[in-house]
Amino acid sequence: MRLILARHGETDYNREWRFQGHSDLGLNRVGRWQAGRLRKRLYREPIAVIYTSNLKRAVETAEIIAQGRGLRIVTSENLAEIDFGKFEGLTHDEIVKSYPDWEPSDFSFTAYGGESLEQLARRIRAFAKELRSGNPADANILIVAHSGSLCVLLCLLLGIDIESWWRFRFAPASLTIVEDVEREPVLTLLNDVSHLKIPGASRKGNPG
């Protein structure tokens, strides 16, 4: 199995560096353009199916990629971004000001009404099981999701402790490829944004 991992295109929250999580924003103008560039980049890929998070920004990205190809799109709540709880819609500085006891290195947001890293990982494990059971071993599959969910998925595929999820970066509309998923997964492409060329397109790993 070959997995192509794509982060959704840019939203206004991404541009403003706001924690997005389960906040259900659609793509902004740049994000729609980025998704169009993804469509062109992937046009010759023999994609069997597209799996996408159920959040608007991911679904919209997947729909743009699928335009004109008749590709089947399967939505999964398990691919949604980690829930940041009360932090959603806030910048890092706003969080620090409102919640001075917050420790940025703590990846659990349960104390603020959100999810823990382990809860996110539980969802991603369920998705991976669904993926393997529902597709042939030689399938070429596109997954459109979020920075957090893709980081955890990559950790699980490569046998890396999920606590190291922050070591990966997925820029908006970036591409990552993992080959031989059914045997010994090999990371052959990571956070590639070479298809994005206009000034102002966000390329960093901002939250959500």
Tens digits of per-residue pLDDT, 87-107?
A: 999 999 999 999 999 998 888
**Beta 186-192 vs 175-179: how paired, if at all?**
antiparallel
- Chain mean pLDDT for the chain: 93
Give the Cα separation of 77 and 101 in Å (integer): 31
Given the residues 8, 60, 88, 115, the one annotated as active site: 8
pLDDT of residue 48: 96
For residue 176, list its beta bridge partners: 5
Whether 8 sits among the annotated catalytic residues: the reply is: yes
For the whole model, what pTM was predicted? 0.92
| Cα gap 163→205, rounded to integer Å | 17
Return d(Cα 62, Cα 141) in angstroms, integer.
12
CA distance 92 to 208: 13
pLDDT: is 183 or 194 the higher one? 194
- The CATH H-level superfamily of 2-82+116-192 is Phosphoglycerate mutase-like (3.40.50.1240)
Residue from 10, 60, 81, 115 carrying the catalytic annotation: 81
Instruction: Give 27-60 pLDDT, tens digit per residue.
Output: 999 999 999 999 999 999 999 999 999 999 999 9
**pLDDT the model gives residue 104:** 87
Map out the domains of the chain as residue ranges.
2-82+116-192
